[in-house]
Chains A and B, each alone.
Chain A
Amino acid sequence: MAVHAAFVGEEGDPVEAVVVDACASFGEVYHREHQGLVRLAAAMVDDVAVAEELVQEAFARAHLRWGHLENAGAYVRAAVVNACRSERRRRAARRRADERAERPRDALPAVEPADESVLRAVRALPAKRRAVVVLRFYEDLPEAEIADILGVRVGTVKSTLSRALDQLREVIEP
């Protein structure tokens, strides 16, 4: 697959149009991972549009260093997860803005969970705990890989997951 790249100068003016074929693997990874990453991001931020943006951004960043990545897929996934965590932190400000504008927040479309109470509990988790829960129970990743993605130790993942489950248990199985 051809990947087209256009480079723009420092002031934003297009200086050269280039067609690059050497980055075909980027396109392959994009096709292979895109859908899953959007869904993963949606599971973390509850907004498909935001999820798409975050995934696009992650791919864009990955493309910058594409030739230097040992495991591009893992890199992009980690970037998405971290972007989702950052997104969660911005939520409070955005929510305030929405409230000022008197507009309802977006609802997540096309998700009809069997157990809404569980999802509500997951959504209420702090960003880091939610990331661990989603990676563990949605992505089925081992704790070591979760640790790699989040840039923490395995012990931290275990303790975070334990606390998250405790918190969920209080809501789900009071």
Chain B
Amino acid sequence: MSRTEDRVRDALQGYRAIPVTAPEEVAVLERAGALRGRQRRQRLVGAAAAVAVLAVIGVVAVRSADDEGARTVPADAAVLGSPYYVPSAGARLSRASEGRLGANGMTYAEVWQPSGARVGERAVRVVVAGGGAGIDAPNRDVNGKPAMLVDQGAGVLEVRWVDGGLLVTVTARGLDEPALMTVAGGVRADAAGGPVRMTTLPVDWAVVAQGPMTPDTVAVDQDFLLDGAQVRLLTHPEGAIELHGLALMPGAEPTTMLGRPAVLVTYTDADEVDIVWVDAAGVLVRLQGKDKALLGRFATGLVPVSRSTWLQRVTTAGVVPSLMDDTSPTLVAPPSSMPHVLDIETGLAAPADRLVVTASVDGDDFCDRVSSTSGQVLLEGCGSQPGALPVQMACAGQTTLTVDGREEQVTILVASVPAAPATVEVVADDGTRRALTAAPVPGSAVWLAGTVIRPEDRTLEARRADGMFLGTMNLAPFQEDVTGG
């Protein structure tokens, strides 16, 4: 054998050291039959356009049922714009979720999972087909987890593995309205091959609703329990789905504006519980791993007060250590004696006074009082916002500023955002942007950003430090509510 052959042979031996976890049990889940019509068309197009043909088979390796006491993984899908998902109990392979997005309708994400799967299950089949690039290869997310990424031209389709749980996030741009679709599904063994922790189960993400919801269009489909937390999946006739984390709070059952029980997951393993109002009715619950510093915040429902404005009765909790041991699942309000001062740029072209807004976070009413250099102002209503990810709460009100010697009435927006997004920007009609500074509220998990809203302002956007688009909030309702409503 030549020296070259020897060196090649030696070099290749390194691959034998790659850690590969062998499953303890193997389950095969298959979907027989023809592809659906749309998929057939995609298949036909695929040869030319590199559209991935949806795989029809998934092989699932399941760890021993004894490993984790055979706890049931909640059916966990959520999808924008699809009547499907239907994960239900029982040993069936279900179309856990699917979604289509994009002007050309070609972006397609599908998650297959066995309902009633067990902790430690892995290799749930995910198929992502993109019209343009047609990329469907695994990648890794920022945490080094296997992930998938599709760059879809007008939109971005991103598939992330989140600490064992599968998270599919579709952020679409170029649509009439910015949209965010999140599909949660699947469980995967961790990097060491061990069973995933319950904290990584996909109870943690849900979906932005399509358009406004009304009470009579929302129906309860199913509930399930996850380590003491009740999770409710709601579907909308038009296809939007919400995944709600509901409280199991002894003696306390706050309601949403629709009269549904609402909010609070007491989750012993979770370090962060993050609840976001979605649309007029939705609540989004997010659990994150222990490496996150925040424990969470909990909101407790909406009370309708006018045709388009809701007084948002939000109890904003700060760090609540008692939740960690699950002994006292009580909402803890941030200390009211710690008002937070925000410096808000007026945004006025003239040599503007610098408006100082004090947002009171007193436990019952978030941001219902705003004082400024020109005096105390009571905000008439605090609105929840359609598609308001990741803005969790927002209030707007009017106050008077003195600009160039004359008094001018301005509309102030104060919004809470997830802790430390890298940027929060207001985007105007013409695309111009101005950055807001989000500042933490001492003693709480709330960060606030504020600004004076101009007539041409349209949306508030948040991005992470790495540039990842977190979400947007439409400002128009605030302007209507404050100036005309």
Q: Decide if A68 is an interface residue (CB 8 Å cutoff).
A: no
Nearest CB of chain A from residue B93's CB, rounded to whole Å = 4
Contact between chains at A5 and B28 (CB < 8 Å): yes
Encode contact with B along A44-64: 1 for CB under 8 Å, 0 otherwise. 000111101100110111011
In the docked arrangement, what's the CA distance between A165 and B5, Å? Answer: 7
Q: Decide if A149 is an interface residue (CB 8 Å cutoff).
A: no
Closest to B12 in A: A138
In the docked arrangement, what's the CA distance between A49 and B86, Å? Answer: 28
CB-defined contacts of B19 to chain A, threshold 8 Å: 110
CB-defined contacts of A96 to chain B, threshold 8 Å: 133
Contact between chains at A50 and B137 (CB < 8 Å): yes
Interface residues on B, range: 35 or more
Nearest CB of chain A from residue B420's CB, rounded to whole Å = 22
Encode contact with A along B393-431: 1 for CB under 8 Å, 0 otherwise. 000000000000000000000000000000000000000
Contact between chains at A115 and B138 (CB < 8 Å): no
Known A49-B138, A113-B11: A63·B20 in contact at CB below 8 Å: no
Q: When A and B form their complex, what is the total count of cross-chain residue pairs whose Cβ atoms lie within 8 Å?
A: 196
Contact between chains at A8 and B93 (CB < 8 Å): yes
CB-defined contacts of B7 to chain A, threshold 8 Å: 115, 118, 172
In the docked arrangement, what's the CA distance between A108 and B3, Å? Answer: 26
In the docked arrangement, what's the CA distance between A25 and B71, Å? Answer: 28
Among A59, A60, A115, which residue has the most Cβ atoms of chain B within 10 A? A60
Known A38-B20, A168-B4: A43·B36 in contact at CB below 8 Å: no
The residues in A between 1 and 36 inclusive whose CB is less than 8 angstroms from any CB of B are 1-14, 17, 19, 23, 26-27, 30-31, 34-35
The segment out of B143-151, B169-177, B269-277 that lies at the interface is B143-151
Q: Decide if B351 is an interface residue (CB 8 Å cutoff).
A: no
Q: Decide if A169 is an interface residue (CB 8 Å cutoff).
A: yes
In the docked arrangement, what's the CA distance between A134 and B26, Å? Answer: 28
Closest to B94 in A: A14
Contact between chains at B50 and A93 (CB < 8 Å): yes
CB-defined contacts of B150 to chain A, threshold 8 Å: 97
**11 residue pairs A–B, Cβ–Cβ below 8 Å:** A11-B33, A14-B94, A30-B61, A35-B22, A94-B137, A98-B139, A103-B139, A119-B12, A119-B14, A165-B4, A168-B8
7 closest Cβ pairs, A-B complex? A10-B33, A60-B57, A49-B146, A118-B11, A14-B92, A8-B31, A113-B14
